[in-house]
Amino acid sequence: MKIAITGGTGFVGRHLAAEFGARGDDEAVVVSRRTGVEIDDVDALAAALAGCDAVAHCAGINREIGSQTFQRVHVDGTAAVIEAAHRAGVRRIVLLSFLRARPDCGSPYHETKWAAEELVRVSGLDHTILKSGMIYGPGDHMVDHVTKAVRTFPIFATVGFRERTVRPVAVDDAVDVLIAALHGRIAEPTVAVMGAEELELGAAVRRIADLAGGHALYVPAPLWSIRLLARVAERVMVVPLVAKAQAMMLGEGVSSPLPLAPEPEPHLRPAHGLDPDRIRAALPEGGFTARDLRVVAWLARRRRLRSGTTVRPAGSH
């Protein structure tokens, strides 16, 4: 099969493309801003999808930056991918959504992810919607940010005074489920993709921190303070310690789907929980530095431009 991957240079997309390359059974076409295709450009998408049998729609963002809004990427982008698929004769689409994406919940991230699901459901294409929990692995935000935080700050704020639970999904497991869906091996049109282990959020943080060598003091913080932190972090950090959408995720837990959806067949479900070996493989170098601040990054770009050094544009997440 020839399969297009939107968001193919993002976290999950590049792992999916790499797996296709390693297996050699399917041909992957990477589609992203870095390959010159905007997610809402139907003509460019149709050209990229030409000759493909299916599309893995992995493009998404967890915070809005300039013109890259939730509406544009999640809703308009999905509508454009569907139209392009029809033009190119693509028969199947697999949408990577979020476990608790739903309407009327007060979070633009969750609501636009749900709107994308609804577009796929009425698209007329063969489809599978994967409502996935938090995915972790090399290049993620979860292990990366917890690691850098506990290495940098003496105090780590856990979310709320009542522990919520999570079922983290290893990225290699998520990729296996995506490939099964692309090949039409998942019977249900919408399934919940969750890791094999459910644990309290604080326990997940401590497991990562222990392997990262962090020694922070863990202090429970009210949800409103985490939401405030997210607002500040989005304004001042290149990649925020926690985004507003992530604050909501952490506040309600990520261990059950909303609306309810079945899991895939037992032999297709993720086999791993928050696995120590997979955590080690995802650990970044060092902690947070001044270069993680937007103003410092902006000044560095100005210096490079003045010296004539080109800067590669940032890709989507």
Residue 315 exposure: Cα atoms within 13 Å on the Cβ side: 20
Per-residue pLDDT of the chain (317 residues; tens, 9 = 90+): 999 999 999 999 999 999 999 998 889 999 999 999 999 999 999 999 999 999 999 999 999 999 999 999 999 999 999 999 999 999 999 999 999 999 999 999 999 999 999 999 999 999 999 999 999 999 999 999 999 999 999 999 888 888 899 999 999 999 999 999 999 999 999 999 999 999 999 999 999 999 999 888 999 999 999 999 999 999 999 999 999 999 999 999 999 999 999 999 999 999 999 999 999 999 999 999 999 999 998 898 888 888 875 544 444 44
Give the model's pLDDT for residue 317.
40
Domain that holds residue 181: 2-296
- Single-letter amino acid code for the residue at 92: R
In a domain, 286, yes or no: yes
Which residues fall within 8 angstroms of residue 18, CB to CB, at 6 or more apart? none
**Structure tokens given for 119:** 């577009």
Going along the chain, which residue ranges are E strands? 2-6, 27-31, 54-57, 92-98, 126-132, 135-136, 155-159, 165-166, 169-170, 190-193, 199-200, 217-221
In a domain, 122, yes or no: yes
State the Cα–Cα distance between residues 177 and 269, nearest whole angstrom: 7
Strand, helix or coil for residue 38 = coil
Of 252, 232, 251, 254, give the one whose Cα is nearest residue 241.
Answer: 232
- Contact indicator for 90, 4 with CB cutoff of 8 Å: yes
In a domain, 52, yes or no: yes
In a domain, 316, yes or no: no
**Number of domains composing the chain:** 1
In a domain, 305, yes or no: no
In a domain, 309, yes or no: no
Give the model's pLDDT for residue 71.
98
Residue 217, judged by CB atoms within 10 A of its CB (0-12, 13-18, 19+), counts as: exposed
In a domain, 307, yes or no: no
Give the model's pLDDT for residue 309.
55
In a domain, 150, yes or no: yes
CATH number at residue 210: 3.40.50.720
Give the model's pLDDT for residue 313.
44
